[in-house]
Structures are given as structure tokens and as C-alpha cells.
Amino acid sequence: MSLIESLPRVRSLRWPRADGLVQWVVPLTIVVVWQAACASGFVSARVLPAPTDVASAGWKLLQSGELARNIWVSFWRASIGFLIGGGIGFAFGLANGLSQLSSKLTDTTLQMVRNIPHLALIPLVILWFGIDETAKLFLVALGVFFPIYLNTLHGIRTVDPQLIEMGRIYGMGDGELFRRVIFPGALPSIFVGVRFALGIMWLTLIVAETIAASSGLGYMAMQAREFMQIDVVVLSILIYALLGKLADSASRVLERLTLSWHPAFQKH
């Protein structure tokens, strides 16, 4: 008994600190190897600039304010597009998960639209909206919509019917049943949708900014290509990786806060 009780405690003492460091071992190793390969001349600076060159390019752009401005613009587009698309997807997921009528009315249509690669709409979107903000927001929102819609719907449909019956027996009305049983039951699945959507959000934004934009990180990378500034191109790609990681971490923190009851999130 005492051994079993002590096991999780031993782990919880060790892990939190190590966890933060262990995950950075691989990226740091890659950077070190990369620097060594460039410094030794094994990789030409025209193919791949050294991390130090990328860092100095980043420093210059940071000083001119260009980098911060472009990151801010991209971040803003990503968030607004995510909120719009995610909000609509969540609403449809709720409606179709809770109402047979709504599901019959819209699910088939949504499934058809889902099968169109949303990036295929870029030519149409440019014709409709030109290259202003609406075009990017539209594409991001469309891309984010489906994972959130599908996972919200799936989450609600797979809530344990025995728990719903229990709620009814104990006199819960529709509102209370939703708040206390259905929504918390669907939440883990909704978070899966959010994390998928975050990936799609960046992908869509990068493509849209690369093709049709006059600001943002994708635009910065395309401009750099025009002037053969390969260090800036690599810098943009690295920033995408960091932003993606940041978004994922944010959703994990949110998951941990709201799903603390879940066995997977206990005793860490």
C-alpha cells in the first residue's frame, strides 16, 4: 500500500522540471548540428544560412519594427479567423448534436462542403474580396470551421446515454442537463477539434499570405524571396514553428484547466 501510494509522488517530484527541459533537447541539438554544418562549409550559405545569420537577420528586422508588425498582423488574422470559424463550427456542432431536425437539415450540406479543399477556393476568394483582410479571414475561418464542427458534433453524440438518463431521473431540465452533463462530456472531443483547428489555422494563413497579401509573415517571406534574402525566409519559417507551438501550448493549458477531472490529467 505505501509503495503504491508513493509511486505517483516520486514521479510528480521528478517530472515537472525535467519535462520542461527534455522537450527542448531535440530542437536545440538540431540547431547546434545546423550551425556546425554551416560553419564547416558542409552546407552552403546559399542553400541554408547559419542559425547565427538567421538570428542577426531577425535582430535587424526586430529593430526596424518590421518583424513585430508582421507577426502582429498574422497573429491578429489567425485569432479573428479562428474565433469566427470556430464559433460558427461550435454552434453548428451543438445544434446538429442536440437537434435531429437541424442535423437532417444541414449535416449533408456541410459534409459536401467539407470535401472541398478550402485552399482550392483561393482564386475565387481573391476575385470576391481582392487581397484585403476579408479574404484571409474568410479562408482561415473556413479551414477552422470543420474540425471544430465535426469534433463538437462527435463529442455531443457520444456522451454516455446512461449519464443523460441519470440526469433526467434526477430531475434535470434541458438547460441543466446541457450544462452539467452534455457539455462537460463533449469537452474532451471539442479540445481535439481545437488542436486540429489550430494547425489548420496556421497552414491556411501562411498559404493565403504567401499568395495574396501586402503584410504579415507570409508576405514577409515572399518579399524576402524576391530579394534573395534566404535568411529572412528561414526566419519566417522558424517563427511559424514557434507560433504553432505557442498555440498548441495555449490549448494544452486550457485543456488542463478545464479537464482536471479526466484521469489523463490527474497526478501530474
Partner 1 sequence: MQEALRFRLPDAEPVKRADFIEQARLARRGSEAVSRGLPLTIRGLRKSFGTNEVLRGIDLHIPAGQFVAIVGRSGCGKSTLLRLIAGLETIDAGSISLGGEAREEDVRVMFQEPRLLPWARVLSNVEVGLGRDRASSDAQARAERALAEVGLDDKRGQWPAVLSGGQKQRVALARALVSHPRILAFDEPLGALDALTRVSMQRLLERVWHDQAFTAILVTHDVSEAVALADRVLVIEDGRIAHDIHVDIARPRRRGSVDLAELEGSILQNLLDGADDTSDL
Cα atoms in the Cβ-side hemisphere of radius 13 Å centred on 58: 14
How far is 50 from 185, CA to CA, in rounded Å?
A: 49
Binding site for partner 1 (CB under 8 A): 162-163, 165-167, 169-172, 180-181, 184-185, 187, 259-263, 266
Of the pair 132, 165, the CB lying nearest partner 1 is at 165
Among positive and negative, which fits the CA dihedral 80, 121, 209, 241? positive
Cell 470556430 sits on residue: 86
- At closest approach, how far in Å is the CB of 181 from partner 1? 7
Of the pair 185, 244, the CB lying nearest partner 1 is at 185
CA distances from 132 to 4, 213, 263 (A): 60, 7, 46
- At closest approach, how far in Å is the CB of 6 from partner 1? 16
- At closest approach, how far in Å is the CB of 176 from partner 1? 8
DSSP annotation of 118: G
Question: Do residues 199 and 263 make contact, with C-beta atoms less than 8 angstroms apart?
Answer: no
How far is 84 from 223, CA to CA, in rounded Å?
A: 29
- At closest approach, how far in Å is the CB of 163 from partner 1? 6
Q: How many helices (H) and strands (E) does the chain have?
A: 11, 0
Question: Do residues 198 and 48 make contact, with C-beta atoms less than 8 angstroms apart?
Answer: no
Burial of residue 148 (CB within 10 Å: 0-12, 13-18, 19+) is buried
Of the pair 76, 265, the CB lying nearest partner 1 is at 265
- At closest approach, how far in Å is the CB of 158 from partner 1? 14
Of the pair 111, 266, the CB lying nearest partner 1 is at 266
Of the pair 108, 266, the CB lying nearest partner 1 is at 266
How far is 156 from 143, CA to CA, in rounded Å?
A: 21
How far is 192 from 34, CA to CA, in rounded Å?
A: 34
Of the pair 132, 160, the CB lying nearest partner 1 is at 160
- At closest approach, how far in Å is the CB of 95 from partner 1? 23
- At closest approach, how far in Å is the CB of 194 from partner 1? 18
Of the pair 181, 213, the CB lying nearest partner 1 is at 181
